[in-house]
Amino acid sequence: MNIKGKVVTLRAMEEEDQELLREMVNDPEIEKLVGGYSYPVSTNQQQNWFNSNSNSQNNIRLIIETKEDGAVGFASIVNIDWKNRTAFHGIKIANKKFRSRGIGTDTVMAVMKYAFEELQLNRLDGTIIEYNEPSRKLYCDKCGWTVEGVRRKAVFKLNEYHDELIVGVLKKDYERLIKENNYWDI
Amino acid sequence: MNIKGKVVTLRAMEEEDQELLREMVNDPEIEKLVGGYSYPVSTNQQQNWFNSNSNSQNNIRLIIETKEDGAVGFASIVNIDWKNRTAFHGIKIANKKFRSRGIGTDTVMAVMKYAFEELQLNRLDGTIIEYNEPSRKLYCDKCGWTVEGVRRKAVFKLNEYHDELIVGVLKKDYERLIKENNYWDI
Amino acid sequence: MNIKGKVVTLRAMEEEDQELLREMVNDPEIEKLVGGYSYPVSTNQQQNWFNSNSNSQNNIRLIIETKEDGAVGFASIVNIDWKNRTAFHGIKIANKKFRSRGIGTDTVMAVMKYAFEELQLNRLDGTIIEYNEPSRKLYCDKCGWTVEGVRRKAVFKLNEYHDELIVGVLKKDYERLIKENNYWDI
Amino acid sequence: MNIKGKVVTLRAMEEEDQELLREMVNDPEIEKLVGGYSYPVSTNQQQNWFNSNSNSQNNIRLIIETKEDGAVGFASIVNIDWKNRTAFHGIKIANKKFRSRGIGTDTVMAVMKYAFEELQLNRLDGTIIEYNEPSRKLYCDKCGWTVEGVRRKAVFKLNEYHDELIVGVLKKDYERLIKENNYWDI
Amino acid sequence: MNIKGKVVTLRAMEEEDQELLREMVNDPEIEKLVGGYSYPVSTNQQQNWFNSNSNSQNNIRLIIETKEDGAVGFASIVNIDWKNRTAFHGIKIANKKFRSRGIGTDTVMAVMKYAFEELQLNRLDGTIIEYNEPSRKLYCDKCGWTVEGVRRKAVFKLNEYHDELIVGVLKKDYERLIKENNYWDI
Amino acid sequence: MNIKGKVVTLRAMEEEDQELLREMVNDPEIEKLVGGYSYPVSTNQQQNWFNSNSNSQNNIRLIIETKEDGAVGFASIVNIDWKNRTAFHGIKIANKKFRSRGIGTDTVMAVMKYAFEELQLNRLDGTIIEYNEPSRKLYCDKCGWTVEGVRRKAVFKLNEYHDELIVGVLKKDYERLIKENNYWDI
């Protein structure tokens, strides 16, 4: 089933989303903000990636959609470890104007709701590059995540090494959060 | 051959039915009502599923159609065990307005007629999530099925475990039913 | 080469015939009249069947066509056993109005002419479900075939077992027939 | 599971049985006795046949084995039609000395027991070439089968056409038989 | 890792175990005791089955081994549903003498310990044919399982339909059991 | 080239090492000490794993060998990220008696020397399950690694969640260490 936030719907990727994803992965502004990196990606490569990455038992990749703007980003719940009940989560928002409108928060809330209340996971993992303060605020100040460690000098970007924050959230953190902020009720 | 109820016709799935099936499988309201679950499904995945699920000796998947509304749902007779003469049956109706118009009953009656009077099966199995009282009524009150057991805490949905009813119907139950209610004659 | 009766032409199946064949195979009225059976068939499955059943050394499948009405049915000469010089023959006429116009007789006559006078077969086999009296009349009263046996309770349809007539015709039966009735001359 | 008669065990074919099967299929004395025929078969061809004919849902091929003599023949339950609950049955005994020792009867009895009491079939079909009187006696006099028809001139062997007997047995025939002769109790 | 009971070790299947497994599956005495069934299985088929059934994320198949006797049976945790945290469990013991020595109980206890305390499952499912009272006692009297339902007439064996018990055990049932009987401590 | 410590040699895996690796992976005592887990592994699966895991650009797997005892364990440098110059490192020692003889330390020192002085990596990552104090001492007290974080409740073993230490070492940490302890000179 699709995953509903208050503003966003998270749905399976479609072929017509690939150009947006390719633009995002090729955009230096976005690459700077995330821990990962990518060589320049062609339309063909993007298509091949899409063809071999449909949703499966261990990896769920989703388009973030709003009624107003259509597809605005990408969210993933990947490397699901069912025995330990953990998974890795990340998001990318396509466009600056979307980044300050609560879409990020709603996406992370919806992902946690789905991961904890439907998939029965117990923990989500994430990483944040040290200087991406908006991302740290989104995850840790608004969505109940905790900085659990710092991988020193783990990412090389813009000609220097950067530390990478290890962040995580447990089901009980999420439960405490929604009890406090009544996210789904207001 | 196609399977005729009094109102519905059950026919093979076509490529043009896939968007309806995809909407149903992605609809959180419908997922809530059934025992199964699905990750968000893309157009491509739906197409692949269709391509590898044509009707065969052991699995029959059908579109429920009415003259008035065209395709309104999905019914299956799957995991046919010819030696034991059992199969698993399930239905999904697309849209709330269809759910209260006798389409469910007519579909289950037509499926039983076909399974027992043509395929020579002796038993159909089904499952109902505990809180889906309309489904229990449809199967057990109107169509002669029996609750044969309760798999405790077998389904996790909406952040808790739910019991799952095991329901079944034998050919002789169906024969008694139509003798009593003359379903096919009135 | 195409096979000519007095009214019908028997020609190879074309892609555009498949919808007619699919309707016939999905029609419960026709399934009732023949020995075989089929699960509901989709457009795709019909297409796949067509793609893998072009005419070959051992199986010839033909469209029955008339000038007036175009394609009206289907005839086959299959499981050809060249050593024993036997084959299995069957026909299906699409539509009730065609069934009483001599099309059936002309098709069987044309099939026998082709099978015995061109393919050098010595015998054709067929089966008739016990209650299909028109079919028995067509084969045995009009076309020289003989009921050679009865497979007791061999077909389950409409919720009961039915006997199946084993019918056959030898080249010499055909030769005697056309000597008597001068079929091809009048 | 393996199928037990009073004397014989029917078990899956093994690679080491193939030479026996090849000798049987290449033996003109045996080909004369059965309805079928085969071109000369090489070791390789036999191996290929074996590799593509393991037991499956619709075709069961079995070695007849006795404690005393090991593998002595071959029995099959093939073309299983689960909807109509029919199948085709045949046996071949390797060696004349085995043919008069009750092995044939015990095999047919064990096959019927398995087909009717485990597989839930309702009917078995067979064919007998007209002059194979021992085979007719085995099936019809000892094992409850009935000659249901005669396919005239259906088999060409030894430079002439022969009629082929159509034989069949229903579950109720088998039940009557074992009630009368107490086969499994004495 | 291997799974340790007090008496048994559960380890991955090896090629050299296949002959034992094949004997078990071909043994009519064992087939009578279990819900499933199998056509006669050849060495080759067994080998192919083995080659395509190595342990994986969703299906774990294990040899039951004791120091004294080596391989004595087979246990499985299959159809693991990680979202609902359920799986299907079954065992087969090869030989009558082993069936009365506590090997069954120790195997089921070890399977539960592994499923609940390592794999984090919440529920195990099983089925028992109605007349297999020793199996019901093993699961329900000794190992904390509950009969949750009865699939009426679900299994055809020995020429009649039999009911099939639906049994299940929850993690909390297992925890209560070992608290009461101190299984792992004595 | 092989990698030389003062006591150990790290060399490529051979087919004959697989039985040792299989024993290690099936040994519950070892599984308890590491972060990862494995279902029971057969000889065949181990062989398949070996066949698909030869050393490559991004993953180096090594046997730890001593003159005295031959193969005593396993070390890896995997998920090499050449752009960020990081990799993940882990070791397993087969047998308790080896674990207290300096083999662990010598292996980690040799791995660091190779990773930093030959591969030009800048950072190695590792994980330690919270209660494995000997492992923490080995890495952090003897080999210059730092605990950089704690993934809360990330590993489920022995029926409870455990924290997992995130450990790391930079090239400059290694350089400082060997300047201080002259590891390679004494």
For residue range A86-111, what is the model confidence (pLDDT) as tens digits?
Answer: 999 999 998 777 766 789 999 999 99
Touch between chain B and chain F: 3 or more Cβ pairs under 8 Å: no
Q: Which residue of E has its CA nearest to A118?
A: E83
Average pLDDT score over residue span A140-150: 97
Scanning every residue of chain E, which has its alpha carbon at the shortest distance from the alpha carbon of F34?
E1
- Chain E touched by F157 (CB under 8 Å): yes
pLDDT at F53 over 90: no
Q: Is D179 on the interface with E (CB under 8 A)?
A: no
Query: pLDDT tens for residues B8-66?
Result: 999 999 999 999 999 999 999 999 999 899 999 999 999 999 988 888 889 999 999 99
Which residues in chain D come in under a pLDDT of 50? none
Using CB atoms, which residue from C28, C37, C42 is nearest to B4? C28
For E37-76, write each residue's pLDDT tens digit.
999 999 999 999 998 888 888 999 999 999 999 999 999 9
Alpha helices in A118-160 (DSSP H): 133-136
Neighbours of chain A (3+ CB pairs under 8 A): B, E, F
- Confidence tier at F186 by pLDDT (50, 70, 90): confident
Q: Helix (H, G, I), strand (E, B), or coil: what is residue A146? A: strand
pLDDT band at C35 (very low <50, low <70, confident <90, very high): confident
A151 touching chain F per CB within 8 A: yes
E48 touches F: beta carbon within 8 Å:
no
A175 chain-B contacts, CB cut-off 8 A: none
Angstrom distance (rounded) from CA F155 to CA F33: 12
- CB < 8 Å to A84, chain F: 154-156
Would you call A54 and B42 a contact, using CB atoms and an 8 Å cutoff? yes
What value does the mean pLDDT of chain A take? Answer: 93
In 3D space, the residue among F145, F176, C151, A58 whose CA is nearest the CA of residue D126 turns out to be: C151
Share the mean pLDDT of chain C: 94
Which residues on chain A are in Cβ contact (under 8 Å) with F171? none
> Three-state SS for B152?
strand
Which of C31, C39, C43 is nearest residue B14 as measured by Cβ atoms? C43
Instruction: Report the candidate in B74, B36, B67 with the shortest Cα–Cα distance to residue B53.
Output: B74
Q: Is a pLDDT exceeding 70 seen at residue C99?
A: no
Q: Is the full-model pTM beyond 0.95? A: no
Residue-level pLDDT at E100: 66
- Contact status, residue B88 vs residue B78, Cβ threshold 8 Å: yes
**Where does the pLDDT of residue E116 fall: very low under 50, low under 70, confident under 90, or very high at 90 and above?**
very high
Query: Who contacts D3 (Cβ-Cβ below 8 Å, separation ≥6)?
Result: D9, D10, D11, D62, D110, D111, D113, D114, E28, E40
Q: What is the pLDDT of residue C100?
A: 65
Query: Residue F99 above 70 pLDDT?
Result: no
* DSSP secondary structure letter of residue F29: H
Mean pLDDT of the region F77-95: 94
A13: which chain B residues are within 8 Å (Cβ-Cβ)?
42
CA distance linking residue B165 with residue E100, whole number of Å: 35
Which chain D residues are Cβ-neighbours of B119 within 8 angstroms?
83
Locate the chain A residue with the closest alpha carbon to B42: A12
User: What is the rounded distance in angstroms from the CA atom of residue B123 to the CA atom of residue E150?
Assistant: 13
Question: So what's the pLDDT on residue A54?
Answer: 81
How far away is chain F from the Cα of E117, in angstroms, using its nearest Cα? 4
Cα torsion F15, F16, F21, F27: sign: positive
Please name the residue of chain C whose CA is at the shortest distance from the CA of residue B61: C40
- Between D and E, how many CB-CB pairs are < 8 A? 55
Chain D touched by C179 (CB under 8 Å): no
Q: Do F42 and E54 touch (CB under 8 A)?
A: yes
ipTM: 0.93
Q: How far is B96 from chain A (nearest CA, A)?
A: 17
Find chains touching chain F: ≥3 CB pairs under 8 Å: A, E
Cα B153 from Cα B35, distance rounded (Å): 12
Domain locations along chain A: 3-185
A55 inside 8 A of chain B by CB = yes
Mean pLDDT of the region E167-171: 98
Nearest C-alpha in B relative to C39: B1
- CB nearest A120 (choices: E57, E58, E85): E85
Q: Which residues of D60-83 are buried (b: 16+ CB within 10 A; e: fewer)?
A: bbbbbbbeebebbbbbbbeebbbb
Grade residue F106 by pLDDT with cuts at 50, 70 and 90. Answer: very high
CB contact under 8 A, F170 and A154: no
Do B38 and B21 meet the contact criterion of CB atoms below 8 Å apart?
Answer: no
- The answer to whether A37 contacts chain F (CB < 8 Å) is yes
**Selection from B141, B89, B78, B96 nearest residue B111 by Cα:** B89
When scoring B79, B88, B140, B151 by the number of chain E Cβ atoms within 10 A, the one with the most, hence best to mutate, is: B151
Q: What is the DSSP letter of E15?
A: G
* Residue A93 near chain B (CB below 8 Å): no
Question: What confidence score (pLDDT) does residue A100 get?
Answer: 66
Question: Within an 8 Å CB–CB cutoff, is residue A120 touching chain B?
Answer: yes
Q: Count of residues for chain D?
A: 186
pLDDT digits (tens, 9 = 90+) for C164-176: 999 999 999 999 9
Tell me, yes or no, if D12 comes closer than 8 A to chain E by beta carbon.
Answer: yes
Name the A residues in 58-87 with CB < 8 Å from any E CB: 58, 82-85
pLDDT at A7: 94
Which residue is it, tokens 């005791």?
E33
pLDDT at position F97 is: 74
Q: How far is E60 from chain A (nearest CA, A)?
A: 14
Give chain F's end-to-end CA distance (angstroms, integer).
23
Partners of residue D90 on adjacent β-strands: D76
User: pLDDT band for position B116 (50/70/90)?
Assistant: very high
Q: Which residue of D has its CA nearest to C173?
A: D152
The pLDDT score that the predictor gives to residue B100 is 66
Q: Domain C3-185: which topology?
A: Aminopeptidase (3.40.630)
Residue from the list B25, B38, B44 with its beta carbon closest to the beta carbon of A54: B44
The nearest CA of chain F is from the CA of A39 a distance in Å of: 11
Are chains A and C touching, using the cut-off of 8 Å on CB pairs and a minimum of 3 such pairs?
no
